[in-house]
Amino acid sequence: MDANANDGAREPRPFVGINFTCCNVYRRIYKNKAGDAYEGACPKCLRKVKLLVGPGGTSQRFFDAK
């Protein structure tokens, strides 16, 4: 088998789950290109959310945005 056979495979994008309580909708938001925050918006009302990444953060993967 060729050692480069998996070159086309992508690494999974890091995400966190957000429950947008404004519209009672769950959505994944993904890490931005800079890798310093998770950014996204409510799919119904477009309310934006940004979770910063840094030392002393949390290992929590699911959040409520109010």
Q: What does the pLDDT read at residue 2? A: 55
Question: What's the CA gap between 42 and 40, in Å, rounded?
Answer: 7
Confidence of residue 11 (pLDDT cuts 50, 70, 90): confident
Pairing of strands 62-65, 15-20: parallel
- Regarding predicted confidence, which is higher, 25 or 5? 25
Question: What's the CA gap between 22 and 26, in Å, rounded?
Answer: 11
Q: What is the pLDDT of residues 23-56, one digit of tens each?
A: 999 999 999 999 999 999 999 999 999 999 999 8
Asked if residues 66 and 19 have their Cβ atoms less than 8 Å apart, the reply is no
Asked if residues 51 and 59 have their Cβ atoms less than 8 Å apart, the reply is no
